[in-house]
Chains A and B, each alone.
Chain A
Amino acid sequence: MTTQQAPAIQVQGLEKSYKELHVLRGVDFDVARGSIFALLGSNGAGKTTVVKILSTLLKADAGTARVNGFDVATQAADVRESISLTGQFAAVDEILSGRENLVLVARLRHLRNPGKIADDLLERFSLTEAGARKVATYSGGMRRRLDIAMSLIGDPPVIFLDEPTTGLDPQARIEVWQAVRELADRGTTVLLTTQYLDEAEHLADRIAILHEGRIIVNGTLAELKQLLPPAKIEYVEKQPTLEDVFLTLVGTKA
């Protein structure tokens, strides 16, 4: 790549405390445009706090963060114009139908033709048939798909996905992964937090590990693997994993 573009997300020296609890103690990282960046960490490591600061829901105590070139503290409105947040729990309106949820978000983003936007997204996420039904009747995977579809409205250049597959069954997880890959293929920058190592391994261009309030490593999967002694060659019988068995039996195409 020769084009000199500013990173989609730049974070420097980010600190945040909740009363006595020092959650972030100086977090630094950059996310290149159009890439998938995974923020990995155990529960309570502060992943959600980082996402909330980047999506202007929380104010940092110290440090700076820029999203799409805009400062989250001083240009919050421009940041909100540039992002979408998919939080830890599918933030959908249970009482409205899937289509109404999409129309609602399109209207709140002040777009033209909210109905058409909704129909296109329903189709893209295979929800057309369920579109007129109340979201309360959806499965976990359908809800998550709708949730992500809602985040795509208005084509924001940066999308935050906070633990997008927590609580999903394996099939739904694969559906979400596909959706995330498609996003990156279209040039959207994705910052994803997860506590599942395989999820980061499957999806991310770069992986950073957040531990005790700091980023302790940040690199591609290959780079992270080099941190450990070189691989030894061992011969191991390849057993199908339980996931393989499950997916074969329930007959998913993935």
Chain B
Amino acid sequence: MSKHFFGDTTVLLGRSLRHITRSPDTIITTAIMPIAMMLMFVYVFGGAINTGADSYVDYMLPGILLITVASGIAYTAYRLFMDMKGGIFERFQSMPTARSSVLWAHVLTSLVANVISLGVVMGVALLMGFRSAAGVLAWLSVAGILILFTLALTWIAVIPGLSATTVEGASAFSYPLIFLPFLSSAFVPTATMPGPVRAFAEHQPVTSIVNAIRALFTQQPVGTDIWIALAWCVGILVVAYAFAMRTYRRKIS
């Protein structure tokens, strides 16, 4: 690792964060879709969905938070793609700068942007009546899971960001990720789904992550869900990181 890694990453992080503060619409568009879904599910469909929980907004917020991250990382791919296309990525790579700082700055920016979006969505959920009596430790656990989930998805986003040939291609990968929560326990209990769908829903990452966060919010025992959730997040993170680095090395050799 270059001796300038931390300094250079900080400088480049400052640059990308300026991009966000100067075009806050990226935060707004990231948050608006999950908020719209939340409004629709709570005030339109919610009355007809029997989840067994007292409040539907409490029930579906974990899924909405994951959708927020999935739509937020599309911008990570977009920002990276624009750097590649505009040639500034090559400029940085040809300078006496720690080379991996360019990627890490984008990853950290993704984390910051998603935390802000999550905060906005959380604020709206509170206005809509979301309540949790969870303690500090439970909240920290939720934050930890969401950060890990964001990092895992961010490294997935790095791959199209580096290799896409069009803007649309750079962000299209996020659509399946946004829809994954619909095939999970995020909005309806999986027990109501027909066999094969239920089998898929119960064995995909979103269900365990949603169940773990929901249990933490409602002070229920998290059981094995949290370990399955963490295993999924770490597993996706490691695999995505390895593929992203392979794509990156191909780009610079």
Contacts and interface: CB of A to CB of B under 8 A. Distances in A.
A107 interface: yes
B95 A95 contact: no
Interface string A27-52: 00000000000000000000000001
A57 interface: yes
B253 A85 contact: no
A91 B91 contact: yes
Given A55-B94, A84-B94, A108 B87 contact: no
A55 to B, nearest CB: 4
A85 B15 contact: no
B26 to A, nearest CB: 11
Contact of B252 (A57, A91, A96, A150): A57
Contact of A91 (B15, B87, B253): B87
A84 B2 CA distance: 19
A118 to B, nearest CB: 14
Contacts of B252: 57
A55 B91 CA distance: 10
A110 B90 contact: no
B90 A108 contact: no
A58 B251 CA distance: 8
B103 to A, nearest CB: 14
Interface residues of A, number: 30
A94 interface: yes
Interface stretch (A6-14, A75-83, A219-227, A237-245): A75-83
Contacts of A89: 86-87
A80 B94 contact: yes
Contacts of A108: 8, 11-12, 92, 95, 97
Contacts of B97: 80, 108-109
B88 A105 contact: no
Majority SS at the chain B contact face = helix
B15 A96 contact: yes
A91 B4 CA distance: 22
Given A85-B90, A91-B87, A92-B88, A110 B253 contact: no
B29 interface: no
Interface string B73-99: 000000000000011101111111100
A150 B11 contact: no
B23 interface: yes
A57 B15 contact: no
Contacts of A55: 94
Contacts of A195: none
Interface residues of B, number: 24
A213 to B, nearest CB: 20
Interface in B35-94: 86-88, 90-94
A117 to B, nearest CB: 14
Contact of A85 (B2, B19, B94, B96): B94
B95 A105 contact: yes
B253 A59 contact: yes
B15 A109 contact: no
Contact of B91 (A58, A85, A95): A85
B88 A93 contact: yes
A84 B87 CA distance: 13
Nearest to A154: B96
Of A56, A100, A108, which is in contact with the most chain B CB atoms at under 10 Å from its CB? A108
A180 B93 CA distance: 23
B18 A96 contact: yes
A56 B8 CA distance: 19
Interface string B132-152: 000000000000000000000
Interface of A: 52, 55-59, 77, 80-81, 83-85, 87-96, 100, 104-105, 107-110, 150
Given A85-B94, A89-B86, A105-B95, 11 more contacts: A55-B94, A80-B95, A80-B96, A80-B97, A83-B94, A84-B94, A87-B91, A91-B88, A100-B18, A108-B95, A110-B96
The 4 closest A-B pairs by CB, nearest first: A91-B87, A85-B94, A91-B91, A87-B87
